[in-house]
Amino acid sequence: MSAHSTAIEVSSKRGVWGGGNEPLKASYGKLMMWFFLLSDIFTFAAFLITYLAIRVSYPAYAGAAETFTGSNEYWPVPELVFEALPFLHGVHAPLIFVGIMTFILIASSVTMVLAVEAGHRNDRNDVVKWMLWTLLGGITFLSCQAWEWSHFIHGTDNGSLLTFVNGLGQNVTETVFGANLMVNEYGPASFAQLFFFITGFHGFHVTIGVFLLFLCFYQAAVGIYDKRGHYEMVEKIGLYWHFVDLVWVFVFTLFYLI
């Protein structure tokens, strides 16, 4: 062994974690995306578990579906709250619209995997095609959510008669239409608060996702990834997009089914 040697001596007995190799067999970017998603899972889990905790601290509406009226005394039945469709005013269509939204998001997740698969094959045309479909799905989902929010905020034709403490600290009994962070016609104040915060935080993630999808679509289309020699960015943005779908699966169950 020479004293001037600059090369690091490598023992052949060095194990997987001894350095000089990739024990997790994933690139830096992919690893960091995974750990970011893990921390994001905890954030969403905190939100959703809070929802569960507050949900079980109220009695649930137990009467007949036909005679349902919102009240801040009990938790509403989701299929009787989310039952409207755009352009079809007054039609009772429980959970149909949110079902369509779920379908759109799952479909965009599928086109995303197809884009990732095309990326593995360095097939630029397929990547661009599937990224465009995914982008379209993301934008459609966001538009649906905007309508859903708008309907939730404006409320139904009849509203509900509630007794509550208003913004001036007075105890009042009046008909409430729609929802805000103080009071809503559907259920306890925390029902609308949690709806706004959780679907809003999810929608914020989708919005960022749409920006990333566009970036990825653009870079793939102009050939940046070809120059770079690999399509790993499609994979990383794909991970994020599937995560958004994953969270929606839980939001759908907790908000719209339970």
Partner 1 sequence: MEVQDTKSTLQVTPRNEEKIKKIWKTAGFLLAITLAEFVMAFTMDRGILLYSLFIILTIWKAKYIMMTFMHLGDEAKPLFYAIIVPLIFLVWLVITLIKEGSDIFMMRW
Residues near partner 1, by CB under 8 A:
23-26, 31, 34-35, 37-38, 41-42, 45-46, 49-50, 52-60, 77, 79, 94-95, 99, 102-103, 106-107, 109-110, 112-114, 117, 120-124, 126, 222-223, 226-227, 229, 238-239, 242-243, 245-246, 249-250, 252-253, 257-258
For the bound state, the minimum distance from the C-beta of residue 87 to partner 1, rounded and expressed in Å, comes to: 22
For the bound state, the minimum distance from the C-beta of residue 142 to partner 1, rounded and expressed in Å, comes to: 20
The alpha-carbon radius of gyration of the chain (Å, integer) is: 25
For the bound state, the minimum distance from the C-beta of residue 244 to partner 1, rounded and expressed in Å, comes to: 10
The string of DSSP letters for 70-87 reads --TTSBPPHHHHS--BTT
Q: Toward partner 1, which CB reaches closer, 147 or 250?
A: 250
Cα–Cα distances in Å, from 60 out to 54, 55, 176, 215?
Answer: 11, 8, 20, 45
d(C-alpha 38, C-alpha 102), whole Å = 23
Q: Toward partner 1, which CB reaches closer, 208 or 257?
A: 257
For the bound state, the minimum distance from the C-beta of residue 179 to partner 1, rounded and expressed in Å, comes to: 22
Q: Toward partner 1, which CB reaches closer, 3 or 24?
A: 24
For the bound state, the minimum distance from the C-beta of residue 38 to partner 1, rounded and expressed in Å, comes to: 6
Spatial CA neighbour of 241 closest among 113, 136, 143: 113
Q: Toward partner 1, which CB reaches closer, 91 or 249?
A: 249
Judge whether 202 and 251 are in contact, CB under 8 Å: yes
Tokens 């859903």, residue located: 148
Q: Toward partner 1, which CB reaches closer, 164 or 177?
A: 164
**Facing residues of 162 across strands?**
174
Spatial CA neighbour of 159 closest among 175, 183, 180, 173: 175
Q: Which two tokens stand for residue 20?
A: 């000089």
